Amino acid sequence: MQSMSYSIVWFKRDLRWHDHLALHTAASHGTVLCVYVIEPRIWAQADAANQHYQFVLESLRELYAGLRRLGGQLHVLTGEVPAVFAQLHAASPFRAIYSHEETGNAVSYQRDLALGRWCQSQGVSWQEFAQFGVVRRLASRNGWHTHWDAHVGQACLPTPELGAVSFVASPLAQQLPPLPQELGLTLFDPPQRQRGGRAAGLAVLESFLSDRSNQYRGGISSPLSAPTACSRLSPYLAYGCLSLREIVQATLRQRTQLPLTASRQKQGLSAFISRLYWHCHFIQKLESEPEIEYRNIHRAYDGLREHDWNQAHFDALTSARTGWPLVDACVVMLRETGWLNFRMRAMLVSVAAYPLWLDWRPVGHWLARQFLDYEPGIHWSQMQMQSGTTGINVPRIYNPIKQASDHDPHGRFVRHWLPAMRRVPDSWLFEPWRMPPEVQANCGVIVGKDIPSPVVDLEQATRAAKARLFALREQAAVKSAKAPIIEKHGSRRRDHTRSTSKQISAKNSSQLSWEF
């Protein structure tokens, strides 16, 4: 390999070859080495799980095959990125690195800083491209939506033609990817989770646009209808198997092509586009303030829950033993599928934050491992919003009994995931712990044995939590500190005349993310 004769395309959470600006730009400048690095430090973090790793490996296999069809090869290496690139450069110097920007966790942020320093010391150019409608070093939120419109409005880049890209082989020997246990990951992998790869993502997109989007409006709140009514595209967007731009443009095309009689489906597609906008809105928060991952957005909330940690409450939540059937059923569904609809996610965090009075950070790490579609920017913003620590959002405190009555009135969801509940009479479905002893004996379900008793008294614990939170919110110093947070992170009124923006409203924005 001739010295300084090639550049590196570094794949991260952009596991595709279609609409891949880094690959296209690098190819236009000469010979390319395609690299993905399995980073032990990243996988050792508290937000990483084996299901994420397996989804990545599945996506890498398809990316490998896709690049082979272009006449090239994906080189999967293991190590810490600055050290791996230093080894590549020492073996055969390269002139540049091309990649997409990543708004990840604190470890990936520190890694990028370290790589930037190494590139500067070696005279290597590192060019990054926007993956989403997120702006690096954003000066002001004013007019942010114009950046989003511009990003999704650009033409998608096609797959490079066969032979149009000049590839080279890695000067480093490749090994098989590490086993999960070698990365410190547990072996559990949800048996019903979605599988990785671009082909699977395209199939999900097609089924949503052509059929399932008809259920979108009115269907995404209930855990019964949401598995099919929701797009289910979130993991494919989180790992870049599909690009945001191609999803938005495919949705706009489908909405335009539908007949006037398909008003319900048109409305569903419009609502879906709005959620894609809020997807980037929340990631922008973490991009602008990386500390959101581990520090309260409103610093007056420091100490609100951190010093009252109750391990028994956390264990009850994570083991599906809270005693509230809908909560426990959601935890079981997560364990089996790696997915849950937004309202149920918000309810889990609300239950953790208020009646169980648990700090959002360890709960957030646990949920990050449960969510196959874990996206740090969305996840940590939502953890704080639903826990009431942003200081600028009205707290949403979900009552799991009311949520069950509203969204699972006949107990189909609860009974599917909690077999013992199948024997509980309908009249005791929402509060089975109140069954008289003779009813328990007749149905063969003993509270405290076959099903758990509630870990706390829901009404009393929620009332106490509200009192503590609202007493803090009403303090003058807390109120006065809201303005800078709103200026930095608050949404702005949209220009409703724009084609991609006209269906997007700031109303109820806290409902418009996490999954879609």
pLDDT at 237 over 50: yes
Residues of the chain with CATH 3.40.50.620: 6-129
pLDDT at position 485: 82
Structural tokens at position 116:
């930037």
**Confidence band (pLDDT; 50, 70, 90) for 70?**
confident
Residues 356-371 have a mean pLDDT of 98
**Confidence band (pLDDT; 50, 70, 90) for 109?**
very high
Q: What is the dihedral of CA 247, 253, 257, 260, to 10 degrees?
A: 80
231: amino acid identity, one letter:
S
What are the DSSP calls for 188-226, one per residue?
---TTPPPPSHHHHHHHHHHHHHTGGGGHHHHSSSTTTH
Determine what percent of the chain is predicted with pLDDT higher than 90. Answer: 81
**Confidence band (pLDDT; 50, 70, 90) for 516?**
confident
Residues 319-323 have a mean pLDDT of 98
Residues 119-125 have a mean pLDDT of 97
Rounded to whole angstroms, the Cα distance separating 214 from 224 reads: 16
pLDDT at 266 over 50: yes
Nearest Cα neighbor of 490 from 189, 198, 278 is 278
Q: Output the CA–CA distances (angstroms, integers) from residue 247 to 153, 160, 273, in the order listed.
A: 11, 19, 9
Rounded to whole angstroms, the Cα distance separating 266 from 271 reads: 9
The answer to whether 235 and 372 are in contact (CB under 8 A) is yes
For the chain, the average pLDDT equals 92
The SS3 call for residue 344 is helix
pLDDT at 508 over 80: no
pLDDT at 504 over 50: no
Residues 302-312 have a mean pLDDT of 93
Q: What is the DSSP letter of 308?
A: G
> pLDDT for 25-57, tens place per residue?
999 888 999 999 999 999 999 999 999 999 999
Under CATH, which number does the domain 6-129 receive? 3.40.50.620
Residues 474-501 have a mean pLDDT of 67
Rounded to whole angstroms, the Cα distance separating 322 from 326 reads: 10
Under CATH, which number does the domain 293-489 receive? 1.10.579.10
pLDDT at 123 over 80: yes
- Top-confidence residue, 105 or 167: 105
User: Chain-centre distance of CA 318, in angstroms?
Assistant: 19
276: amino acid identity, one letter:
L
pLDDT at 423 over 70: yes
The answer to whether 1 and 91 are in contact (CB under 8 A) is no
- Which residues, at least 6 apart from 268, have a Cβ–Cβ distance to it below 8 Å? 213, 214, 215, 216, 217
Lowest mean pLDDT among 214-218, 392-396, 478-482: 478-482
Burial class (CB in 10 A: 0-12, 13-18, 19+), 267: middle
> pLDDT for 428-478, tens place per residue?
999 999 999 999 999 999 999 999 999 999 999 999 999 999 998 888 777
Burial class (CB in 10 A: 0-12, 13-18, 19+), 290: buried
Residues of the chain with CATH 1.10.579.10: 293-489
User: Chain-centre distance of CA 12, in angstroms?
Assistant: 15
Lowest mean pLDDT among 151-160, 167-176, 411-420, 448-457: 167-176
Structural tokens at position 331:
């935890």
The SS3 call for residue 17 is coil
Q: What is the dihedral of CA 423, 355, 345, 422, to 10 degrees?
A: 0
pLDDT at position 513: 66
Residues 319-330 have a mean pLDDT of 98
> What DSSP element (H or E) covers 125?
strand 125-129
pLDDT at 1 over 50: no
pLDDT at 23 over 60: yes
The SS3 call for residue 167 is strand
pLDDT at 375 over 90: yes
pLDDT at position 164: 67
**Confidence band (pLDDT; 50, 70, 90) for 163?**
low
Residues 62-87 have a mean pLDDT of 94
pLDDT at 2 over 70: no
pLDDT at 111 over 60: yes
Structural tokens at position 322:
């809270």
**Taking the model in full, what pTM does it have?**
0.94
Q: What is the DSSP letter of 451?
A: B
